[in-house]
Amino acid sequence: MLIDTHTHIYFKDIIYRLEEVLKNAKENDVLSMIIVGINGASNKLAIELANKHNLYASVGIHPSDVDGSDFNEVLLYAKENRVVAIGETGIDLYWRQDNLELQQAIFIKHIELAIELNLPLIIHMRNSFEEIYDILVQYKGRVTGVFHCFTLGINEANKIIDLGFYLGIGGVLTFKNAKDLQDAVKKVPKDRLILETDSPYLAPTPFRGKINEPAYTKYVAIKLADLLNVSYEEIKTVTTNNTKRLFKIGDEK
C-alpha cells in the first residue's frame, strides 16, 4: 500500500467528486491518507472526513492564515481520535514578509503543542528554510515531523534529517527542472522519505497543471523508485513503514 501523507480533499476543486477520488486512490495502491487542515474551518472538515472514511487528519494554522487566526481553533481539535499530527504550520515568505514575527509566534505555538501531545509536525516552508531551521534547532530532540513538499537540495535535506525530521516528497520530484531535489533523494537515507500529493495542487507528471488527487501518489513512488534504482514494491514498503513510524499509525488507529 501507499499512504498520501498530505492532502486537502476538502477543497472545492476536489470534494465535489470525493467518492470517485477515494475510489481512484484505492485502485492506485493508495489505501490511506492524512487530510491536512490549514485553519479552523478546514480542521473541522478534515476530522469529519477522516472519521467518515477511516482516514487520518492533522490540524493547524497555515502561515498564510495567521492574520486574525485563533490558536484555540487548533487546541479545540488537537486531541480528536483521528488526529495524528499538528500542522500545517510553518513560515511562508513567498507571499508575505511583513508579518514574519506573527508567523514565527504561531509556528512556535504549534511546536510546543506538538511536544505537549507527543505528535509530529507537518511543516510548510516557502522561501523560509533558515527562519524555520533557526527556530526548530532550539527544540532538537524534543519534536519530530515532516518538511512538507520538500523541494530543496542535499544541504538542506541533511540539516532537516539531523533535526530528526523527515522529507515529504511530492509531485515536484517528477518535474524535469527538479534536479536538486532528485539529486538529494538519491543521497539521503531512504528511511527519512515519505510520500505526499498536496492535492489538489502540484500534480505530478504526466498530470502537471491539472487537479491533483491522492491516487497520483503512485506516480511519485514510481519516480522515486526509478531514481533510487529499486523496485516500486520496495518504495511502497519503505515509505509506508516510514509513515507509520512517524505518525504512529498502523493499518487501523
Average pLDDT over residues 166-185: 98
Question: Quick one: what percent of the chain has pLDDT higher than 90?
Answer: 97
In a domain, 77, yes or no: yes
Number of domains the chain contains: 1
pLDDT for residue 251 is more than 70:
no
Share of the chain above pLDDT 70, in %: 99
Specify the pLDDT at position 252.
43
Is residue 253's pLDDT more than 60?
A: no
C-alpha cell at 204: 505530478
- Mean pLDDT for 148-155 is 98
Over its C-alpha atoms, the chain yields an Rg (Å, rounded) of 17
- Asked if residue 204 is part of any domain, the answer here is yes
Q: Where is pLDDT greater, at 250 or 211?
A: 211
| 252 located within any domain | no
pLDDT of residue 250: 80
pLDDT in tens, 190-222: 999 999 999 999 999 999 999 999 999 999 999
pLDDT, tens digit (0-9, with 9 covering 90-100), for 23-65: 999 999 999 999 999 999 999 999 999 999 999 999 999 999 9
> Does residue 80 sit in helix, strand or coil?
coil
CA pair distance 7, 62, nearest whole angstrom = 14
pLDDT digits (tens, 9 = 90+) for 68-107: 999 998 999 999 999 999 999 999 999 899 999 999 999 9
Cβ neighbour number for residue 74 with a 10 Å cutoff: 24
User: Is residue 223 situated within a structural domain?
Assistant: yes
59 has which bridge partners? 86
Q: Looking at residue 86, what is its pLDDT?
A: 98
pTM for this structure? 0.97
253 within some domain? no
What local confidence, expressed as pLDDT, does residue 85 receive?
98
Q: What is the CATH number of the domain that holds 92?
A: 3.20.20.140
Alpha carbon distance 66, 152 (integer Å): 25
Q: CA 229 to CA 61: how far, in whole Å?
A: 38
Per the structure, the complete domain to which residue 24 belongs is given by 2-247
Region 209-238 average pLDDT: 98
